[in-house]
């Protein structure tokens, strides 16, 4: 069989979705990518799976429990009854620590997870890819296992929103925790794949809440369809947009912030949260603020000013006591621009240099040996040890990739697809 060495060029196609996607196109036979753990894996958070996850459906975990990392299945850190949950159909879908000691002037990067309908839309950044950081939201969507992953923004933030940086680069995302084992940093989520595996159409566990909780104090929300919205404290208005507080010895969960305090309406559904309870009292007051995302279909996605025209369920919002909800970071600041993109878990880590944080905490991808002599064997006779990198085609300037549209599918090419050459042309 005839083989063709890869050509790495930005391409533009007329697409059915009606918006531009940026992507690196690798068209090659016999070239794959292997994944390796980060240089410095982030410590495992507490988390939950949504109610439609595989391991929830077969009874291995509960959707209303706070989980901890264990293999082959997650362990239980806090049982549903400790939170005031436990009714069949309950779904814990947002989780946070108090973050009371966080320096408000200290920059940070966001950590986030997305659901299986998310497509991303931004190519892996070529400079990061040159350093082996090739896995982002778009890449993992095309491989078929992004709902159980955790990503890190390449944009820096402080409590006022995105930290302005000289352009390029464009904001993007880096995979920092794979759904399944990648050197120990995972969620024990199905499918049981490496970051580099391709399993299109495989059922997925969906990580829908994460938080680095170390003292047992937690803040959480439940989905609007959870029966326990009726029994949890609710000011007479059951809602999936309330945020609750739970601490050891409290005996039951209390209402930290009711939906009106967050500038929301009863039919909204909070999907991800980061609480900054600055005086650590379990009450939304004074200098507290909450970063949050909303589930698709929430009415406030169309009433909060300046939300993203495409994919507002991937926008991050901020609420402060006595103030209306505002956009904190639009979806594109997270490297997301898909119509159905949905951020359903939020967390953060302090970070002064996003490039450095990505280099330390990002899961690495390494192009494998290529079959250069066309003998159907990858061996020492092949003189090209690896396919060309994005640096070969694009140089080192971030944000200079061309636009990409795919005409008839939502599955986007990635670096290790085994495919015939595409018709490409340069976009200046």
Dist CA 176 CA 151 (whole Å):
5
Same domain, 201 and 138: yes
Same domain, 105 and 171: yes
From the list 300, 303, 279, 302, the residue with the least C-alpha distance to 289 is 279
Same domain, 192 and 84: yes
Whether 31 and 367 have beta carbons less than 8 Å apart is answered as: yes
Same domain, 70 and 17: no
Same domain, 173 and 204: yes
Same domain, 204 and 302: yes
Same domain, 139 and 11: no
Same domain, 74 and 17: no
pLDDT per residue as tens digits for the range 125-141 = 998 998 999 999 999 99
Q: What is the pLDDT of residue 32?
A: 73
Instruction: Report the DSSP beta bridge partners of residue 22.
Output: 403
Dist CA 129 CA 114 (whole Å):
21
- Angle at CA 22, nearest 5°, toward 17 and 27? 100
Helix (H, G, I), strand (E, B) or coil at 291: strand
pLDDT per residue as tens digits for the range 309-324 = 999 999 999 999 999 9
Whether 344 and 272 have beta carbons less than 8 Å apart is answered as: yes
Q: Is residue 41 part of a domain?
A: no
Res. 97: pLDDT tops 70: yes
Res. 15: pLDDT tops 50: no
Q: Which among 336, 361, 386 is the end of a domain?
A: 361
Same domain, 400 and 424: yes
Q: What is the pLDDT of residue 273?
A: 98
Whether 218 and 280 have beta carbons less than 8 Å apart is answered as: no
Q: How many domains does the chain have?
A: 2
Instruction: Report the DSSP beta bridge partners of residue 345.
Output: 113
Q: How many whole angstroms from its chain centre is CA 65?
A: 20
Q: Which among 341, 361, 381 is the end of a domain?
A: 361
Dist CA 37 CA 194 (whole Å):
10
Res. 190: pLDDT tops 70: yes
pLDDT per residue as tens digits for the range 58-68 = 999 999 999 99
Q: Is residue 66 part of a domain?
A: yes
Res. 255: pLDDT tops 70: yes
Could you tell me the residue range of the domain that residue 120 belongs to?
46-361
pTM (predicted TM-score): 0.82
Instruction: Report the DSSP beta bridge partners of residue 151.
Output: 112, 175
Q: Which among 313, 338, 361 is the end of a domain?
A: 361
| Mean pLDDT estimate for the chain | 82
Dist CA 299 CA 306 (whole Å):
14
Same domain, 290 and 187: yes
Q: What is the pLDDT of residue 249?
A: 81
Same domain, 19 and 162: no
Same domain, 400 and 336: no
Q: Is residue 385 part of a domain?
A: yes
């Amino acid at each position: 069989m005839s083989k063709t060495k890869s050509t790495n060029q930005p391409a533009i196609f007329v697409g059915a979705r009606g918006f531009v996607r940026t992507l690196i196109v690798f068209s090659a036979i016999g070239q794959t990518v292997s994944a390796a753990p980060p240089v410095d894996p982030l410590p495992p958070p507490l988390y939950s799976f949504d109610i439609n996850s595989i391991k929830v459906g077969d009874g291995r975990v509960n959707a209303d429990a706070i989980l901890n990392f264990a293999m082959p299945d997650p362990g239980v850190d806090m049982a549903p009854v400790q939170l005031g949950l436990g009714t069949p159909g309950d779904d814990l879908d947002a989780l946070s620590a108090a973050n009371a000691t966080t320096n408000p002037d200290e920059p940070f990067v966001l950590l986030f997870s997305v659901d299986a309908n998310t497509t991303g839309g931004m190519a892996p950044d070529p400079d990061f890819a040159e350093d082996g950081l090739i896995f982002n939201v778009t890449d993992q969507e095309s491989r078929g296992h992004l709902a159980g992953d955790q990503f890190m923004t390449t944009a820096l933030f402080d409590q006022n929103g995105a930290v302005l940086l000289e352009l390029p680069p464009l904001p993007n995302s880096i995979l920092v925790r794979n759904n399944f084992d990648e050197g120990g940093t995972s969620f024990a989520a199905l499918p049981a794949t490496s970051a580099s595996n391709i399993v299109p159409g495989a059922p997925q566990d969906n990580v829908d809440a994460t938080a680095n909780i170390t003292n047992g104090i937690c803040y959480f929300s439940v989905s609007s369809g959870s029966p326990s919205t009726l029994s949890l404290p609710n000011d007479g208005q059951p809602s999936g947009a309330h945020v609750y507080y739970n601490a050891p010895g409290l005996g039951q969960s209390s209402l930290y912030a009711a939906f009106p305090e967050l500038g929301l309406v009863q039919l909204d559904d909070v999907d991800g949260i980061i609480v900054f309870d600055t005086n650590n009292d379990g009450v939304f007051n004074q200098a507290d603020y909450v970063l949050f995302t909303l589930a698709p279909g929430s009415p406030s996605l169309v009433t909060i000013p300046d939300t993203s025209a495409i994919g507002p369920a991937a926008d991050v919002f901020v609420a402060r006591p006595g103030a209306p909800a505002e956009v904190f970071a639009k979806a594109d600041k997270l490297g997301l621009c898909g119509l159905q993109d949905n951020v359903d878990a939020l967390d953060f880590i302090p970070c002064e240099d996003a490039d450095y944080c990505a280099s330390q905490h990002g899961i690495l991808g390494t192009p494998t040996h290529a079959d250069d002599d066309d003998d159907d064997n990858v061996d020492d006779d092949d003189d090209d040890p690896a396919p060309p990198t994005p640096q070969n085609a694009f140089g080192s300037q971030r944000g200079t990739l061309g636009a990409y549209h795919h005409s008839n599918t939502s599955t986007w090419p990635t670096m290790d697809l085994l495919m015939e050459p595409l018709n490409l042309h340069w976009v200046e």
